[in-house]
Amino acid sequence: MPAESTPDPLAHPDRQRAWLDVDLGALARNAAAVAARAGVPLLPMVKADGYGLGAPAVVRALEPLAPWGYGVASAAEAAALRAAGATRRVMVLTPVLPTELPRARAVSLTPALHRAGDGRAWAALGGGAWHLAIDTGMARAGARWDALDDALLSAVGAHPPEGAFTHFHSADTDDASRAEQEARFREAVSRLPARPPLLHAENSPGVERAGGASAWDLARPGVFLYGVSAGGVLGAEPVAHLRARVVDLRDLRDGETVSYGATWTARGARRIATVPAGYADGYRRALSGVGRALLHGRPVPVAGRVTMDMTMLDVTGVPCAVGDVATLLGRDGAAVLTAAEVAAAGGLSPYELLTGLRGRVPRLYDTA
């Protein structure tokens, strides 16, 4: 019998234009590394559709690690997780409006509350567990650590929260703010009628850059899971790999220009490849003239402005044919363009880059 041929993974119908390869195996390994470092149960952040990579698939990949629950930013995100089959706790860490509490109850979520009236309203709905949000310096949401008023303390006493939490504003730096915020958090918790069973504070950089195991009861990893490290003792594996095929090639003469505004001029004879991915796919316009791609494992610069649907690459000196695959983010062989590196080139945050990847780009999942 003739040998059975191995299917070409690039022959997939969704790999004919631009696509996002999502390495769920790497995501799970990143989560396992955080869990081992923190030594406490995880509350992984899967908000913003799993940081742009697809929350249902992310949750399925994390389930074998038995996390305490999952973190989202809205009742709508929680409802979407429930519809996708998520059965663990789903916690909404953004403040929930009083008008949203019935929906929150309907999808069995755990809200973050910090106003006395909201706590009483949640209890009146029979809502169950909730967590008290305490602001220790982020000045974004939660009850101020040094201003827990009598009404709130009374509501906490009448309907005790399951947990209390705060959020570090600069855990990715070496300044003293983390210790200050932790001291403020402890001060606030000491004023509560009783210590809630679950206290949590650490985000991804908080775990990475901690001196050892967590001092709290839960850890809340976010961007590290998706391949972005804060430079601590752990190293995140790349998870997102944005790729696009070369759909056109042209040779330019010295002095000819590329793309809108003619901002890029050929210095000598150059070869330009066009790939069908642009800012409508999440490859940001800020990467115009400063971004790079990988072609056959070799870096090639972005030539001119990134357009809505296409990006041009200077492939001079690199073997290139129509149909070849360029990697705009992620790994190509031994070479890697990390989310942090690509974002920095465009003056962006890696959070912006990942959550900005658009739905037009199919997500293809690898679980190995």
Q: How far apart are CA 286 and CA 280, in angstroms?
A: 13
SS (H, E, C) the chain: CCCCCCCCHHHCHHHCCEEEEEEHHHHHHHHHHHHHHHCCCECCECHHHHHCCCHHHHHHHHHHHCCCEEEECCHHHHHHHHHCCCCCEEEECCCCCHHHHHHHHHCCCEEEECCHHHHHHHHHCCCCCCEEEEECCCCCCCEECCCCCHHHHHHHHHCCCCEEECCCCCCCCCCCHHHHHHHHHHHHHHCCCCCCCEEECCCHHHHHCCCCCCCCCEECCCHHHHCCCCCCCCCCCCCEEEEEECCEEEEECCCCEECHHHCEECCCCEEEEEECCCCCCCCCHHHCCCCEEEECCEEEEECCCCCCCCEEEECCCCCCCCCCEEEEEEEECCEEECHHHHHHHCCCCHHHHHHCCCCCCCEEEECC
Token output for 223: 């961007």
- Tell me which residues are annotated as active site: 47, 260
Q: How far apart are CA 185 and CA 179, in angstroms?
A: 10
**Please, are residues 88 and 60 in contact by the beta-carbon 8 Å criterion?**
no
Q: How far apart are CA 228 and CA 293, in angstroms?
A: 18
Q: State phi, psi for 173 to the nearest 5 degrees.
A: -120, 175
Neighbours of 157 (CB within 10 A): 11
- Nearest residue to 226 via CA among 242, 215, 212, 237: 237
